[in-house]
Amino acid sequence: MLQRLHTFVNGQADPQFADKIDAEFQQIVDEENRKENLILDANNHRDGIVPVTLLAENSVDCSAATSITLQLPNGASDLVIFEDDPTNAIDFNKWTTPYGGASTDGSCIVLGSTTSAYRYLDSITLFNYPVGNLTLVLEFRASIPHTQYGYVGFGFGDIYIGHRWDDTSYTHVTTTGLGGTTYSLGANYRNTFMTYKIVITATQAHFYVDGVFKTVLNHSLTGNTIIHGNAYDANTYLKLDWVKLYYTTSIDWLFK
């Protein structure tokens, strides 16, 4: 319970100043109660949602967007900002392939060539790395090829899942690009269709393979970036079945 504070000026109580102190103290109490209730809700309702600040509609740039607070009910906790399920043609309203080497096989985008050279698949749209309490999820089903000469994989900017020429035994993950510091998952998923998920917060990236949590890495990435895939070795092809990028208000991934 708040106790009213009286400040005396020239021997007289100053209620206006006391009201100001009361209001500031109440804000502190309200914020602490909000945090406590959020923790209790997360512990008691694994399928619940938490309020987050999301981008204004039709915007993918956090710096330019008008912030809104979104509370979504169970079953409607995702805001999809990019998705593609290619079949017979690449949607060049969504993708660019700066060095060619991309086609479709009726169900997937196929990236690679008959010679050893980098072939890229890049989203045309730029997206911001999450800030504040935003949670961004990149989910995709793909067959990521092996490599003996370069770096191959798929991801969001420098946050990647893929393979390296100098460790052909394992699949790697990274938050500094595949040419930077990477971490082995202790398994090799090359040339096999798997469903990958990367849950990205402002400071961490959580990696999943076929719904199984594998590892979490810290990051300090900011600004905007693209969804990006690449292949390298001759006659080895990255195959992308589908991809989705979305903000989520669900906290269920915290318990996996």
Single-letter amino acid code for the residue at 134? L
Residue 134 resides in a domain = yes
pLDDT computed for residue 23 by the predictor: 57
> In the block, which residue shows the tokens 């196929």?
110
Residue 51 resides in a domain = no
Judgement on whether residues 194 and 245 belong to the same structural domain of the protein: yes
State how many domains the chain has: 2
Residue 130 resides in a domain = yes
Q: What is the pTM of this model?
A: 0.71
pLDDT computed for residue 22 by the predictor: 54
pLDDT computed for residue 100 by the predictor: 87
The CA-based angle 78-84-87, given to 5 degrees, is 145
Judgement on whether residues 167 and 210 belong to the same structural domain of the protein: yes
Residue 53 resides in a domain = no
Judgement on whether residues 83 and 126 belong to the same structural domain of the protein: yes
Judgement on whether residues 87 and 29 belong to the same structural domain of the protein: no
pLDDT computed for residue 249 by the predictor: 80
196 vs 192: CA distance, rounded Å: 12
Residue 164 resides in a domain = yes
Judgement on whether residues 128 and 16 belong to the same structural domain of the protein: no
The predicted-structure confidence for 195-239, as pLDDT tens digits, reads as follows: 999 999 999 999 999 999 999 999 999 999 999 999 999 999 999
pLDDT computed for residue 172 by the predictor: 96
Judgement on whether residues 26 and 127 belong to the same structural domain of the protein: no
Judgement on whether residues 242 and 123 belong to the same structural domain of the protein: yes
Would you call 24 helix, strand, or coil by DSSP?
Answer: helix
Answer whether 120's CB lies under 8 Å from 226's CB.
no
Judgement on whether residues 123 and 13 belong to the same structural domain of the protein: no
Which CATH number covers residue 177? Answer: 2.60.120.200
Residue 115 resides in a domain = yes
162 vs 170: CA distance, rounded Å: 9
Judgement on whether residues 38 and 130 belong to the same structural domain of the protein: no
Residue 142 resides in a domain = yes
Judgement on whether residues 19 and 87 belong to the same structural domain of the protein: no
Domain range enclosing 190 = 71-255
Judgement on whether residues 97 and 28 belong to the same structural domain of the protein: no
Judgement on whether residues 35 and 111 belong to the same structural domain of the protein: no
Query: For residue 34, what are its two tokens?
Result: 């909000």
Low-confidence residues in the chain, pLDDT < 50: 1-9, 17, 21, 25, 28-29, 32, 34-74, 76, 255
Residue 60 resides in a domain = no
Would you call 155 helix, strand, or coil by DSSP?
Answer: strand
Query: For residue 96, what are its two tokens?
Result: 């660019």
